[in-house]
Amino acid sequence: MRESTFIDRNRSKWKEMEDFEKTDPDETASDFVEIISDLSYAQTRYPHSKINSYLNHLAVTAYRAVYRNKKPQPLLEFWKTTFPLILGENRRILWLASAFFLAFCTLGAVCADFEPEFVESVMGREYIAMTEENIAKGEPFGVYAKEEPFKMFLSILANNLFVGLLVFISGIFMGIGSVYHTFKNAIMVGSFFHIFFRAHLGLNALVVIGLHGTLELMSLVLECMAGMILGLSALFPGTLTRRQAFRKGLNQAALIYIGTIPFTLIAAFIESYVTRYGSDGLRSDNPMLTLLLLLVFLLSWVILIWYFFIYSRRVARRNPNPEYRNKPW
């Protein structure tokens, strides 16, 4: 079908959608589905036409009208839809940030294996000496039990929130700043784990440190993701102006950072109050404690995989937000 014919056939329908605001939720939802269909058709047949911008505007308006008719439950809506929707619609960036983190961790472990002094240069000589002393005493993870829990909780929470904010905000430098800070932190994590693998305590380290590290490090990945979105929005504005694209990217990135705060808080709580019970590692003489630690570890991974990767993708499929159609990622 020629573009002019397509426009003539649908002009009156689009004009009606643009001029009249409907209060019936079913009619609004029907309009949204129809305009999304027209937008998809236009983007496929006429990818460089200005009609795409017009239809995208109508689709965004219809999308907002659909959700305006819902009962306002901002907190529930944030965790049920808003936050996972942003993650799902930007899942390529999520996977890329995850890949960066894992690659940098592996690099840290490899460098530590080839150059023993590398660990000291990254972690500090005193910290390494303390860790090796704890391993020799049979308390490889004793560092998590040496401080009063509440004081430790506040200290860890404040530090992790600050580091996360730094990772997120540094994305303003085309996203490179976020990747750089993720690199620094991931290198330290990889080097730290290498100490325990070298002492044949690798499995113990994965479980005990993973009690809090699973959610803590996932928050770091999400903060890196937020920074990358911030940088990419300015670099690739799509059909929006660069200022509009940057504002949208900043809004989404800020919501991602806000979304990490509860997980950072939970991770700090686990590290302060739970991880200390694994200071001796996984002990065969106390199977109930070992079972409890394993359950916390597995639950953290279930939350991570299901909510951040599976559920977020499902939400994105159920809520095709046209605002994301302009994005090259």
Q: Please check whether residues 63 and 85 belong to one and the same domain.
A: no
CA 154 to chain centre: 23
Residue 66 above 90 pLDDT? Answer: no
In this prediction, residue 7 has a pLDDT band, given cuts at 50, 70 and 90, of confident
Averaged confidence pLDDT in the chain: 87
Residue 247 above 70 pLDDT? Answer: yes
Q: Please check whether residues 48 and 84 belong to one and the same domain.
A: no
In a domain, 145, yes or no: yes
In a domain, 75, yes or no: no
Q: What is the mean pLDDT of residues 231-251?
A: 83
Q: Distance between CA atoms of 94 and 90, rounded to whole angstroms?
A: 6
In a domain, 233, yes or no: yes
Domain tally for the chain?
A: 2
Q: What is the mean pLDDT of residues 34-48?
A: 79
Residue 213 above 60 pLDDT? Answer: yes
Q: Please check whether residues 104 and 185 belong to one and the same domain.
A: yes
Q: Please check whether residues 34 and 151 belong to one and the same domain.
A: no
DSSP one-letter code for 308? I
* pLDDT value at residue 236: 84
In a domain, 66, yes or no: yes
Query: Residue-wise over 11-30: b if at least 16 C-beta within 10 A, else e?
Result: eeebeebeeeebeeeeebee
Residues sharing a CB contact under 8 Å with residue 187, sequence separation 6 or more, in sequence order: 104, 105, 107, 108, 111, 122
Q: What is the mean pLDDT of residues 244-260?
A: 91
Q: Please check whether residues 115 and 203 belong to one and the same domain.
A: yes
Residue 65 above 80 pLDDT? Answer: no
Per residue in 126-177, pLDDT (tens digit) is 889 999 999 998 889 988 988 899 999 999 999 999 999 999 999 998 899 9
Q: Please check whether residues 190 and 46 belong to one and the same domain.
A: no
Q: Please check whether residues 172 and 39 belong to one and the same domain.
A: no
In a domain, 160, yes or no: yes
Q: Distance between CA atoms of 277 and 296, rounded to whole angstroms?
A: 12
Q: Distance between CA atoms of 282 and 183, rounded to whole angstroms?
A: 30
Give the DSSP per-residue string, 10-53.
Answer: HHHHHHHHHH-----HHHHHHHHHHHHHHHHHHHHH-TT-THHH
Q: Please check whether residues 311 and 195 belong to one and the same domain.
A: yes
Range of the domain at 18: 8-70
Residue ending a domain, among 70, 98, 116, is: 70
Look at 110 and 36; give whichever has higher pLDDT. Answer: 110
In this prediction, residue 281 has a pLDDT band, given cuts at 50, 70 and 90, of confident
Q: What is the mean pLDDT of residues 70-78?
A: 72
In a domain, 202, yes or no: yes
Residue 70 above 60 pLDDT? Answer: no
Q: Please check whether residues 39 and 84 belong to one and the same domain.
A: no
Alpha helices (runs of H) in 83-201, residue ranges in sequence order: 83-89, 91-114, 117-123, 125-137, 149-169, 176-198
Query: Residue-wise over 265-302: b if at least 16 C-beta within 10 A, else e?
Result: bbbbbbbbebbbbbbbbbeeeeeeebeebeebbeebee
In this prediction, residue 68 has a pLDDT band, given cuts at 50, 70 and 90, of low
Tell me the pTM. 0.77
Collapsing DSSP states into helix, strand and coil, what is residue 183? Answer: helix
